[in-house]
Amino acid sequence: MSDPKIAIWSLLLIISWKYIGFAVILFLAGLQSIPEELFEAAAIDGASYWRTQRHITVPLLGPTVRIWAFLSIIGSLQLFDLVYIIWGQYVSATAGTSTMATYMVTYGRNAGEFGYGNAVAVVLFLISLVIALIYQRYVLRRDTEGALTGKGK
């Protein structure tokens, strides 16, 4: 596990196994929110299965894909527990599996540099905040456009 080529692939496999259930449930909920009438209308119009998937299912799953990507990005920034449990506090930096959270603990708490660890935590928070604000500004606004009625429009 200390070989970087094996370590990163094993971490990828473990994370995928851990979060695949959440992704499946999220996408099942997204699929159930698509009205059945759209598929029936496409079948009446003579659309093939693949054309139905391309023009109905994929576009209507767009908000689900975007929220899944957002949650995955934020979750990857905060990844700590798996790396720390599997590789420990010393191997995570040498195995090529170090994350910002393990870096914060290794060079902050374990080294006795609590101020440096706090600075890394603030940077991690600011990166997460910027990603969340960009998501809210551009993606969430587009996904909820037309969902709310306003008197001024």
Give tens-digit pLDDT for 132-146. Answer: 999 888 887 777 776
Angle at the Cα of 93 (from 87 to 97), degrees rounded to 5? 65
Tell which residue, 141, 129, 132, has the closest CA to residue 69. 132
Residue 122's CB: how many other CB atoms inside 10 A?
11
Taking the model in full, what pTM does it have?
0.77
Token match 């959440």: residue?
A: 22
Whether the Cβ atoms of residue 108 and residue 50 lie closer than 8 Å to each other: no
4-144: CATH topology: MetI-like fold (1.10.3720)
Residue type, 139: V
Non-local CB neighbours of 72 within 8 Å, separated by 6+ positions:
19
pLDDT tens digits for 45-86? 999 999 999 999 999 999 899 999 999 999 888 888 888 888
Whether the Cβ atoms of residue 39 and residue 56 lie closer than 8 Å to each other: yes
Non-local CB neighbours of 2 within 8 Å, separated by 6+ positions:
87, 91, 94, 95
pLDDT tens digits for 89-135? 666 666 778 888 888 888 888 888 999 999 999 999 999 999 999 98
Whether the Cβ atoms of residue 52 and residue 75 lie closer than 8 Å to each other: no
Grouping H, G, I as helix, E, B as strand and the rest as coil, residue 61 is coil
